[in-house]
Structure 1
């Protein structure tokens, strides 16, 4: 593995990142054709927080957080730190001191396939984290890794400068080059959902609005009265 720190990554437009974050993970995921999710193994340590930012990626060795120290210098306002390891590790490689340094630089949060500690302090200071574990086990600072290289986070490949969206529903990666088109698709989806919401409040059924009665019929689903069902199946 080559050990490098890439210093001049490109980022998506700040306004696009902000708008994607406002839509949230589920909406953007659907707008992307149900792609981009990192998976269900990363969960927030807090509730009710939604963020979006440009990915600064970190590849560490298991049980070693040296490259997180190197990554702090590469972070700027509006970024999200994305940390993973060369092989699975749930050690607590991140805590309140890292968050203090990152918060000072305007970093919006952490996404990590590893563990975090000092979670009470992280929540108190308002530094959002999505992690695979909460673990007090500490780490060393002894092995070189890389900063701002492509990494794999669960089911997604995250490249430096990609847009990370995270909330109570999970974490999503939007490729930087697709951010604008994804935002347009998300805007359109939100508009359609607003129309559906108004229709449901007025009493319309989703079966009718989404033309699903024909789907049920094509799949052989029958509507029976209770008497007809009992005549067909009897009592269990």
Structure 2
């Protein structure tokens, strides 16, 4: 089996990437038709940070971070390093030394389907990380994987150059060729949500805004006064 480091991968338009970052994970996920989420298990080690950038992908073996070191060389400013693991592993694949290397190259952050450590130092550095585990257990550098070939996290395929959007709500991937339409769909959803927010702030109920009263009726939901219910002997 060939082990490859793929160089010079195509990247999406930077302005569209910045637009996706502004919309945020929840809006982008909904705009894509509720697809692309990397799952609830990937959590940020920090709060209040949002990033978006083209993915540089690395596939590592359990307990082995060799290919993260190989991937650093392929990272450009604004990229997000996305690390998949060939099998479940709780090891701390990544810490402050690798973060220092990535930060020097202008990398926006890390998404890893494994563990990280030195989290307090990473927060002080301001280097954003989303990980499945936090673990002090170290790794070796002994087994070859791949760089910039597709990886799978939470049943989502992430290819090099796809856009990763990450914030306090988690992580979502946008395929590179679908970035323009996802930006437009996200913008439309944001405009719709702004109108809804204004209506709710003005006192309109969600029951009426979303026309939910007929649904409640069709589901057999009844309205009854408290005193009437008491007279009927309860539910």
**TM-score normalised per structure 1:** 0.97
The answer to whether the Cα contact below 8 Å between 1:90 and 1:113 also exists between their aligned partners in 2 is no
Runs (4+) of structure 1 exceeding 4 A deviation are: none
Q: Which residue of 1 aligns with 2:25?
A: 25
RMSD of Structure 2 on Structure 1 (CA): 1.1
The alignment of Structure 1 onto Structure 2 pairs a total of residues equal to 235
Q: CA deviation at 1:103?
A: 0.7
Quote the Cα distance in structure 2 between the aligned partners of 1:155 and 1:47. Answer: 25
Q: CA deviation at 1:235?
A: 4.3
Q: CA deviation at 1:59?
A: 0.2
Where do 5+ consecutive residues of structure 1 fail to align? none
* SS at 2:30 equivalent: helix
Where do 5+ consecutive residues of structure 2 fail to align? none
Q: Which residue of 2 aligns with 1:50?
A: 50
Q: Does 1:101 align with 2:101?
A: yes
Q: Which residue of 1 aligns with 2:133?
A: 133
Q: Does 1:78 align with 2:78?
A: yes
Q: Does 1:213 align with 2:233?
A: no
Quote the Cα distance in structure 1 between the aligned partners of 2:207 and 2:75. Answer: 48
Within 5 Å, give how 1:143-182 maps onto structure 2.
143-182=143-182
Q: CA deviation at 1:7?
A: 0.2
Quote the Cα distance in structure 2 between the aligned partners of 1:170 and 1:28. Answer: 11
* SS at 2:56 equivalent: strand
Q: Which residue of 2 aligns with 1:119?
A: 119
